[in-house]
C-alpha cells in the first residue's frame, strides 16, 4: 500500500449506531488530519494531530471522537450521529506541522450516510 | 478570517480549449497555495503547490500562478482533454493557533466534452 488509505470506503449507519473510520498513511509523515466535505460546501478541517498530539478540534461536536495511536494511524469514532453528518470524510497527512508549509496528501475518503 | 473564493463555479468547454480557473483569498499572510483535483466521490489529488515566495509552478499542461499582494491565483490548463473533467479546488495554507492549516475554496466543476 502506498500513500494514504482509508477504510471503509462507504458506510451506512443508523443514528444509534457506533462505528469507526480508519486512516493509514505510508509516507512517513508526522501530522494527520480529518476533513469533512458536505454537499455544496467547502472542505472543513475537523481535527489535526501532530506527532500523535491533538492540536485542533475546530469546534467539532462530541459525537465525533478522534484517536491517533501512532503517527501512521488515525481513527474517527462515530456515535449517535445525525442525518446532517452524512458527508465524505477525508483523511490527510503531511510531513510535519508548525511554522513551515508542508504539502498535504489526501486519502480517497469514506462516504458516510446516516439514516 | 481567511476566505477563499473560486470563479467560475462551473465550466463546460469543448476539447482543445485553453482554460483559466481563478482563486482569490482575503488574507495575504499565507505560507503556500495548493491546487487539487477531485473526481466525483473521490479524494483529492494534489496538482501543484506554490510556496509564498514563488510566482508560479508548472506541471505538464498545468501552470499555476500566485500573486500574494493581490490575493489571487490562477490555474491555466492548456489544450484541455475530456480526462481533465473534474472539480478543481484551491486551498491556502495558514499558520494559525500554533499549527498549519488549509482553507479551501468551494471549487470549480470542469466538464470537457469531445
pLDDT by residue for chain B (114 residues), tens only, comes to 889 999 999 999 999 999 999 999 998 888 889 999 999 888 899 999 998 899 999 999 999 999 999 999 999 999 999 999 999 999 998 877 666 788 999 999 999 999
Residues in chain B: 114
Residue at grid coordinates 498535504 = A104
Q: Evaluate whether B29 touches B94 at the Cβ level (below 8 Å).
A: yes
**Alpha carbon A28 to chain centroid, angstroms:** 17
The beta-strand segments (E) located in B1-114 are: 4-7, 10-14, 19-25, 32-38, 44-51, 56-59, 62-67, 72-77, 86-96, 99-104, 108-113
Q: Using a CB-CB distance cutoff of 8 angstroms, which residues of chain A are in contact with residue B106?
A: 40-42
Model confidence over A37-79: pLDDT tens digits? 998 788 999 998 887 777 777 789 999 999 999 989 999 999 9
Nearest to A42 among B49, B52, B104 (CB): B104
CB contact under 8 A, A101 and B44: no
What is the distance between the alpha carbons of residues B55 and B50, in angstroms, rounded to a whole number?
A: 7
Residues 5-34 of B with CB under 8 A from A: 31-32, 34
Cβ–Cβ contacts within 10 Å for residue B83, how many?
8
Q: Within an 8 Å CB–CB cutoff, is residue A10 touching chain B?
A: no
Q: Within an 8 Å CB–CB cutoff, is residue B76 touching chain A?
A: no
Instruction: Return the HEC string of chain A.
Output: CCCEEEECCEEEECCCCEEEEEEEECCCCCEEEEEEECCCCCCEEEEEEECCEEEECCCCCCCEEEEEEECCEEEEEEECCCHHHCEEEEEEEECCCCCCCCCCEECCCEEEEEC
Interface residue of B23, B99, B107 to substitute, partner A, most A CBs within 10 Å: B99
CA angle in degrees (0–180, nearest 5) for A64-A105-A49: 40
What is the distance between the alpha carbons of residues A52 and A71, in angstroms, rounded to a whole number?
A: 6
Grid cell of A26 as nine digits: 505510508
3-state SS assignment for residue A84:
helix
Amino acid at each position: 500500500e502506498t500513500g494514504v488509505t482509508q477504510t471503509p470506503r462507504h458506510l451506512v449507519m443508523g443514528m444509534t449506531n457506533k462505528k469507526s473510520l480508519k486512516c493509514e498513511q505510508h509516507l512517513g509523515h508526522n501530522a494527520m488530519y480529518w476533513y469533512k466535505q458536505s454537499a455544496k460546501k467547502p472542505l472543513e478541517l475537523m481535527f489535526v494531530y501532530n506527532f500523535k498530539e491533538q492540536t485542533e478540534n475546530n469546534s467539532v461536536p462530541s459525537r465525533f471522537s478522534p484517536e491517533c495511536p501512532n503517527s501512521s494511524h488515525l481513527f474517527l469514532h462515530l456515535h449517535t450521529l445525525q442525518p446532517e453528518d452524512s458527508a465524505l470524510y477525508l483523511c490527510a497527512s503531511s510531513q510535519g506541522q508548525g511554522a513551515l508549509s508542508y504539502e498535504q496528501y489526501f486519502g480517497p475518503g469514506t462516504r458516510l450516510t446516516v439514516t | 478570517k481567511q476566505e477563499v473564493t473560486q470563479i467560475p463555479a462551473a465550466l463546460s468547454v469543448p476539447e482543445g480549449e485553453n482554460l483559466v480557473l481563478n482563486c482569490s483569498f482575503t488574507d495575504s499572510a499565507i505560507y503556500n497555495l495548493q491546487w487539487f483535483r477531485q473526481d466525483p466521490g473521490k479524494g483529492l489529488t494534489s496538482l501543484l503547490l506554490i510556496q509564498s515566495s514563488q510566482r508560479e509552478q508548472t506541471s505538464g499542461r498545468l501552470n499555476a500562478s500566485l500573486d500574494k499582494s493581490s490575493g489571487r491565483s490562477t490555474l491555466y490548463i492548456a489544450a484541455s482533454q475530456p480526462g481533465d473533467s473534474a472539480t478543481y479546488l484551491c486551498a491556502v495554507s495558514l499558520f494559525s493557533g500554533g499549527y498549519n492549516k488549509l482553507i479551501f475554496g468551494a471549487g470549480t466543476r470542469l466538464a470537457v466534452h469531445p
